[in-house]
Amino acid sequence: MSSFKDLRIVDNFYQTSAFFPMPTILVGTVSENGMTNLGAYSLCFPYYIAGKDYYAMILECRNSSNTAQNILRGSKISLNFITDDKKYFREAVRLGFPGDTTAEKMKNCIFTLEKGEADGERPKIIKEAYQVFECTWDSSLEDAFNDKAGNLDGYEPPYHNFNGITSKFGAHFILKIDKILMKDKYYNAIVNGVKAKDFPPVPVDYGYRDSTNFWCSPFKKPFPEKIQAKEGDINSVKYAAKRIDPEVGFTDEACAQLTKIPRVFLKAALTQMVSIAKEEGINVIDESALQIINDKRRKEKKG
């Protein structure tokens, strides 16, 4: 007999039928009168993470919300990640209450708004956030640019599958990331090496809610667990390296240093190394050349 019970799946299952850990994000958009509108969301996750010509998030929301209507009218969005300060979460809950106009909800907002770094007319960003993604809705996907603001009582079909109006009351928005903005402390940690003490105090929204409360937990210092990397056979690395580019070779000693790269990432890593080698005029990647290439890869990451 199973140790689990089968729980009925209902609307808003992540809140009503599950304990689902999620981020706490305040989404900034520009209202009709030009004000920055802040709405609280947790259904916002990475979408395009590699292999595309841009990176993207996906935002899921009610299509009648101020946020959705503003995106349909404009396209510029800011995703503001707040810390686990109780007063911030209390304010996020207030900003997430449906029905208030932008003027009503923003009148006594406790957050400080400032201009971001991306170009164009955009919502302001939250000064108290530890990081901000400035984004643009990609309305070209599924021809979602045909969806218009104004239907506050629900949209009639046809619906899109993943971008724009996706149901009578729902919307999904694929958000191209234009800028990732980070406070100095966390920027320096990512660039120079992250330790447990360097993580921002990120709250966890537990998803489940009842008729009275949203639930959130405070940050606890994370603990590290070493990656149990499997060393590949040097012959596997040599085999892959020979097939990247006939103009650039790898010595056996250099290949031996690359055996800890997981096989699924090996081709991409070798391709990047060969590209840098060509830029540096290197025809054979030996141990010294590998050091030059890795230094450049680190500098590009910092850039």
Q: What is the pLDDT of residue 301?
A: 64
Q: What is the DSSP letter of 70?
A: H
Q: What is the pLDDT of residue 112?
A: 98
Cα separation of the two ends of the chain: 55
What is the chain's length? 303
* CA–CA separation, 51 and 200 (whole Å): 28
> CA–CA distance from 11 to each of 8, 65, 106 (Å)?
10, 18, 30
Q: What is the pLDDT of residue 102?
A: 95
Check the CA dihedral 51-52-54-58 and report its sign.
Answer: negative
Q: Which residues does the chain have with pLDDT short of 50? A: none
Angle, helix 287-302 to helix 263-279, in steps of 10 degrees: 90
Residues contacting 157, CB < 8 A, separation 6+: 168
* CA–CA separation, 284 and 180 (whole Å): 36
CB count, 10 Å around CB of 224? Answer: 8
Residues contacting 212, CB < 8 A, separation 6+: none
DSSP labels for 67-117?
Answer: HHHHHHH--EEEEEEP-S-HHHHHHHHHHT-TT--HHHHHTT--SPEE--S
Asked whether 23 and 216 are in contact (CB, 8 A), the reply is: no
* CA–CA separation, 50 and 233 (whole Å): 27
Asked whether 36 and 28 are in contact (CB, 8 A), the reply is: yes
DSSP labels for 16-40?
Answer: HS----B--EEEEEE-TTS-EEEEE
Name the pTM for this structure: 0.81
Q: What is the pLDDT of residue 227?
A: 65
- CB burial of residue 140 (10 Å; 0-12, 13-18, 19+): exposed
Which pair of structure tokens corresponds to residue 8? 């009925």
Report phi then psi at 126, rounded to 5. -90, 120
- CB burial of residue 290 (10 Å; 0-12, 13-18, 19+): buried
Q: What is the pLDDT of residue 106?
A: 96
* CA–CA separation, 145 and 230 (whole Å): 47
